[in-house]
Amino acid sequence: MKPRGRCGRVPDVNLRELLLNPTEYLPPEKSLDGLSVSDAERRISGAPHSVAEIIAHLAFWQEWFYKRCMDEPAVMVGSAAAGWPAVEADSWDVLRRRFVEGLHRLAALADGDVSRRLSPPIEFPPLAEYTIGDALTHVATHNAHHLGQVILLRQLMGAWPPPAGSWTW
């Protein structure tokens, strides 16, 4: 039997794990460990974004989905480019912390009713019927996609693996 969370609800351990400590790939926090400000902001030739820009994008969408899960009517951006906020120089430490804290805020939602539909519904038809659980899964898979890009950028700049190491297979 699963352990009970707040208010007698069964926490969704799988959603929490998917966001914070997945078994399929390196946890998000660890994939950023040991990355300097200069490397986070560094542009690699041929790559459209720096690591810092990717993390700003992830933090943006994490915050947006969190608001929607909390019944705040955050408006859907009008274009894909609007989901890529500008990154200020030397903001890496604040940005990294914002991303990690956002992950933990979202993971805490897994302790509640993840079957509850978002209200108001998301204005984008493929996401219009989303529940909190759907939103958490969406964020986790979106993060996984972009964190793969972060790891590749780190490999290209010689800033991989992180100090604690990485999986070798």
Mean pLDDT of 52-69: 98
Three-state SS at 22:
coil
- The residues with which 131 forms a beta bridge, in sequence order, are 117
Does position 81 have pLDDT exceeding 90, yes or no?
yes
Q: Which residues contact 52 (CB under 8 A, 6 or more apart)?
A: 40, 41, 87, 91, 92, 95
**The one-letter amino acid at 148:** G
* Residue 140, both tokens: 């986790």
List pLDDT tens digits, range 83-141: 999 999 989 999 999 999 999 999 999 999 999 999 999 999 999 999 999 999 999 99
User: Which amino acid is located at 121 in the chain?
Assistant: P
Beta strands in the chain (DSSP E): none
pLDDT at 25: 85
What confidence category does residue 23 fall into, taking pLDDT thresholds of 50, 70 and 90?
confident
Domains (ranges, CATH) in the chain? 6-156 (1.20.120.450)
Asked if residue 1 has pLDDT above 50, the reply is no
Indicate the average pLDDT of the chain. Answer: 90
pTM for the whole thing?
A: 0.90
Rounded Cα gap, residues 19 and 32, in angstroms: 15
Share of the chain above pLDDT 90, in %: 80
SS3 content of the chain, % helix, strand, coil (to 5): 55, 0, 45
Which residues, 6+ apart, have CB-to-CB distance to 75 below 8 Å?
123
Three-state DSSP class for residue 3: coil
